[in-house]
Chain A
Amino acid sequence: MWENLQHEFQRYFVDNGASDWWLGGLKTTLLVTVLALCIGVILGFLVALIRSTHEQTGRLKLLNAVCVVYLTVIRGTPSMIQILIFYSVVFASIPLNNIIIGGIAFGINSGAYVAEIVRSGIMSIDRGQMEAGRSLGLSSGQTMKLIIMPQAFKNVLPALINEMIVLLKETAIIGYIGTVDITKAATLVQSRTYSAFVPLISAAVFYLVLVMLLTYFMGKVERRLRRSDH
Chain B
Amino acid sequence: MTTNGEVLIKVEDLQKHFGDNKVLDGISTEIHKGEVVAIIGPSGSGKSTFLRSLNLLEVPTGGKILFENVDITDPKVDIDRHRQKIGMVFQQFNLFPHKTVKENIMLAPVTLKLMTPEEASRKAEELLNRVGLPDKAQAYPGSLSGGQKQRIAIARALAMNPDVMLFDEPTSALDPEMVGEVLEIMKELAQTGMTMVVVTHEMGFAREVASRVLFIDGGNIQEDAPPEEFFASPKNPRLREFLSKVL
Contacts and interface: CB of A to CB of B under 8 A. Distances in A.
B108 A136 contact: yes
A147 B111 CA distance: 12
* B88, B97, B143 interface centre (most CB from chain A within 10 Å): B97
Contacts of B88: 131-132, 135
Given A126-B94, A128-B92, A129-B94, A135 B83 contact: yes
A138 B111 contact: yes
A142 B112 CA distance: 9
A229 B156 CA distance: 20
A138 B98 CA distance: 17
Contacts of B86: 135
A139 B82 CA distance: 12
Given A131-B90, A230-B140, A230-B142, A138 B96 contact: no
Interface residues of chain A: helix, strand, loop or mixed (majority): helix
A136 B84 contact: yes
A146 interface: yes
A137 interface: yes
Size band of the interface chain B makes with A: 20 to 34
A23 to B, nearest CB: 42
Contact of B96 (A132, A135, A142): A132
A131 B111 CA distance: 16
B133 interface: no
Interface in B84-110: 84-88, 90, 92, 94-100, 107-108
Contact of B98 (A128, A137, A154): A154
Contacts of B98: 150-151, 154, 228
Given A136-B156, A137-B112, A137-B160, A128 B80 contact: no
Nearest to A139: B80
A174 B48 CA distance: 58
Contacts, number: 70
B141 to A, nearest CB: 8
A134 interface: yes
Contacts of A132: 88, 90, 94-96
Interface in B51-104: 55, 57, 80-88, 90, 92, 94-100
Contacts of A135: 55, 57, 83, 86-88, 90, 157
Contact of B142 (A128, A138, A229): A229
Size band of the interface chain A makes with B: 20 to 34
* A128, A134, A137, A228 interface centre (most CB from chain B within 10 Å): A137
Contact of A131 (B57, B80, B82, B95): B57
A138 B57 contact: no
A138 B95 CA distance: 14
Nearest to A140: B80
Contacts of B156: 136
A228 B112 CA distance: 24
Contacts of B83: 134-137
A228 B108 contact: no
A138 B80 contact: yes
Given A135-B55, A137-B160, A146 B107 contact: yes
A147 B160 CA distance: 17
A13 to B, nearest CB: 48
A230 B142 CA distance: 6
Contacts of A126: 92, 94
A137 B84 contact: yes
A168 to B, nearest CB: 29
A160 to B, nearest CB: 17
Contacts of A147: 96
A228 B140 contact: yes
A134 to B, nearest CB: 7
A226 to B, nearest CB: 10
Given A138-B80, A229-B142, A131 B94 contact: yes
B96 A129 contact: yes
Given A136-B157, A137-B80, 14 more contacts: A131-B88, A132-B96, A133-B108, A135-B83, A136-B107, A136-B108, A138-B108, A138-B111, A142-B111, A146-B111, A228-B100, A228-B140, A230-B140, A230-B143
Interface of A: 126, 128-129, 131-139, 142, 146-147, 150-151, 154, 228-230
6 contacts: A135-B55, A136-B108, A147-B96, A150-B98, A151-B96, A228-B98
